[in-house]
Amino acid sequence: MAKKVVGYIKLQVKAGQANPSPPVGPALGQRGLNIMEFCKAFNAATSKLEPGLPTPVVITAYSDRTFTFVTKSTPASVLLKKAAGITSGSKRPNTDKVGKVTRQQLEDIAKAKEPDLTAADLDAAVRTIAGSARSMGLVVEG
């Protein structure tokens, strides 16, 4: 018989740096899940990623206090800020431009995000990422 799902927990945890402190500890603790077990499993699963990159994770909690989790790709905004070399986007993106990204950088980001995007092909994915870049106040070149 299948396990009964109690709920889903969505978090953003830095790759390879999960620990019992907030936000991980309280979120898992209120569901009665083993916090250290999750931290070890998450850190092992994200060991191939660049340490410190925020990684979205969806944790499925079951009634027998077990869990499974799925990691997603790093948010496009984080990858765009890293590519442009900025710390934050523009507060007024239509008037204040804070950096530039090239078409090649957009393609690299789109390839990294491809499993999580609903785009039909790479060109559509690049257009999606370019829209995110413009909404952050970045100039898209090429």
pLDDT confidence of residue 54: 92
Query: Any alpha helices (H) in 17-121, and if so which ranges?
Result: 24-29, 35-45, 76-84, 103-113
Strands 99-102 and 138-141, how do they pair? parallel
Sign of CA dihedral 8, 9, 13, 17: negative
pLDDT confidence of residue 1: 61
pLDDT confidence of residue 44: 92
pLDDT confidence of residue 21: 85
Per residue in 67-115, pLDDT (tens digit) is 999 999 889 899 999 888 888 888 888 888 888 999 999 999 999 888 8
pLDDT confidence of residue 56: 93
Which three-class secondary structure state does DSSP give residue 67?
A: strand
pLDDT confidence of residue 126: 92
Per residue in 15-71, pLDDT (tens digit) is 988 888 888 889 998 988 999 999 999 999 988 888 888 999 999 999 998 999 999
Domains of the chain: 5-71 (3.30.1550.10), 76-141 (1.10.10.250)
Largest separation between any pair of C-alpha atoms in the chain: 58
Which three-class secondary structure state does DSSP give residue 69?
A: strand
Q: Is the pLDDT of residue 142 over 80?
A: no
pLDDT confidence of residue 120: 86
